[in-house]
Amino acid sequence: METLGPSPAPGQKRTFVSRFFPNSDTNYIRRYKFLEEPEPSETAASGTPPPDAASDPAEKHVHKAQLEDGMVEQVNGPYRGEIAKPVQRSLGFFGAFFNMIAYSIALGILSIPMVVATIGMVPFVLLCCLFSFLTWYIGYNYWRIAMMYPGVQNLQQVGELIFGPIGGVIFATFQAIFSVFLQGNHVLLGGYAFYYLGWDACMIVMVLVFTIISFVFTLPRSYRLFSAFAAISFTSIFTVVIIAMIASGVSGPQNRDPSEPPKAVHAFGASRRIPHSFLDGVLGTTNVFVSFGAIPAYLPVVAEMKRPQDFHYSLIMLVAVSFVMYVIVGCIMNYNLGQFTTSPSLGSLTTVMIKVSYGLALPTILVAGCASGQVTGKMFMINVFSGARRRFLDNKVVTWTVWIVINIISWALAFVLAEVIPFFSTFLGLEASLFWSVFFFFAPMFYLWRHQFDYWNHWRNRLGTIVALVMIGMAGFFMIAGTWASAVSIRDLYKTGNVGSPFSCEMPSS
């Protein structure tokens, strides 16, 4: 049973922590499904026949895991067709980094200067240090559970691994709702980009066109191919922020009235022109928190890496690049624009620079939404071809049809939600506060599950347990405070009459 960890030592009673997790024989047997299995060629070469129905129940689960592992190979196989045999784990650590950075850093980075203007430079840099550590901590614990059970492909399977089928359904629901809303946010941003680039059409049409384009670019099923799109996305947003910083320094804030005082930069706090209540501080902090990391993408990316051990290097690169970019962009843009910073800060630039920036940012807006669609699409793909239906995986027409239908449904839902909710951007903050905090909560929960029988046996375990409990408290704070702040913002929108109507051709105000 040692390979199925975590398990009690012989004669050991259940600990306080272990009582929060199911530990029946059924749970132990189910863990076989997510263990690493030998390649089919190795099994054939050894001459070992597959276990029959009369074998030990655990052996039957091992055989089932082998079949499902082959199914995942087909789902995550190469997009290009020159290799007929499905290939698993084709992603390198640079590709893993680009896939995660595309999920993490998008056009939202240009809203960071407004956070700096609200809370001050020093608190912002300290927050970036804190969130960098949280990003590493979350990614590390996701990676550890993936290394412990290499058959795990997504959050749904972790939920099933720890809590059984009900846990899998709950985790999958969290993942699906969050991803579809995030896709909706990006199709709405795409509509904004078309508008600022000069396409004076109905907003519904612009959002619909961007939705169709996003659907097309989500079709590649391999992260190895998608990493090329992700690299273009990162190059795109990197170019945009460089241009925006230079333009803001050269021209200064274009939205400043000549009668207003010159720009001012504060190490702590904000000027009178910038709203700086506790509510605004919480909203800004939550926005920075959500901007760090790519939590839902961690497990799918690890599942496709040639060397999953290298994920830690990709994670460190993600944390380092995110920290440097957020601190530099936030501080320099705030220094250049002062209290005249807008969200996004492109609104403080000249009309020409706004068009240039949105034009260059189009690949980032597109790929970031597609990265979210990839995560949920693959999760549903695995569910469709589970059990007896896995025999259809040899039929490329069937697999591609299912993959296309899944993406049509997810992008159609994203489009409808983006148009039917008149305060969608603010509502996304509410949804992010709820679900991103839940994804954060999973990381310390994974640690406690792995160490449920030895959480106090060594000083490292005691320290890890204390840190996990602190992290759970922080996740709770972000959920409660962020949800409250977002709900109050939605209420204020209705009070001020800034809420539009569903499926409106007008440019949304929020």
Q: What is the pLDDT of residue 331?
A: 93
Q: What is the pLDDT of residue 494?
A: 81
Q: Report whether 33 contacts 68 (CB < 8 A).
A: yes
Q: Report whether 120 contacts 252 (CB < 8 A).
A: no
- Name which residue leads in pLDDT, 345 or 313: 313
With cut-offs at 50, 70 and 90, classify the pLDDT of residue 88: low
Residue 17 lies in a domain: no
Q: Is the pLDDT of residue 105 over 70?
A: yes
Burial class (CB in 10 A: 0-12, 13-18, 19+), 229: buried
What CA–CA distance (Å, rounded) separates 203 from 106?
21
- Name which residue leads in pLDDT, 41 or 119: 119
Q: What is the pLDDT of residue 177?
A: 93
Average pLDDT over residues 104-109: 87
With cut-offs at 50, 70 and 90, classify the pLDDT of residue 451: very high
What CA–CA distance (Å, rounded) separates 179 from 371?
9
Residue 71 lies in a domain: no
Helices 223-251 and 351-384 pack at an angle, to 10 degrees, of 160
- Name which residue leads in pLDDT, 347 or 219: 219
User: Containing domain of residue 188, as a range?
Assistant: 86-496
CATH code where residue 418 lies: 1.20.1740.10
Q: What is the pLDDT of residue 502?
A: 82
Residue 386 lies in a domain: yes
- β-bridge partners, 91: 305
Q: How far from 448 is each of 90, 250, 376, 451, 473, CA to CA, in Å?
A: 31, 52, 26, 5, 14
Q: What is the pLDDT of residue 508?
A: 62
DSSP assignment of 147-177: HHSTT--SHHHHHHHHH-HHHHHHHHHHHHH
Q: How far from 308 is each of 258, 276, 414, CA to CA, in Å?
A: 57, 44, 32
Residue 62 lies in a domain: no
Residue 216 lies in a domain: yes
What CA–CA distance (Å, rounded) separates 332 from 242?
10
In the numeric block, which tokens belong to residue 225?
């191919």
Q: Where are the alpha helices (DSSP H) in 385-503?
A: 396-420, 424-450, 459-496
- Name which residue leads in pLDDT, 279 or 180: 180
Residue 429 lies in a domain: yes
Residue 258 lies in a domain: yes
Residue 61 lies in a domain: no
What CA–CA distance (Å, rounded) separates 385 from 134?
35
- How many domains are there within the chain? 1
pLDDT tens column, 280-306: 888 888 888 888 889 999 999 998 899
In the numeric block, which tokens belong to residue 133?
């550590």
Q: Which residue, among 328, 349, 339, 325, has the nearest Cα to 248 in the 3D structure?
A: 349
In the numeric block, which tokens belong to residue 484?
């409250």
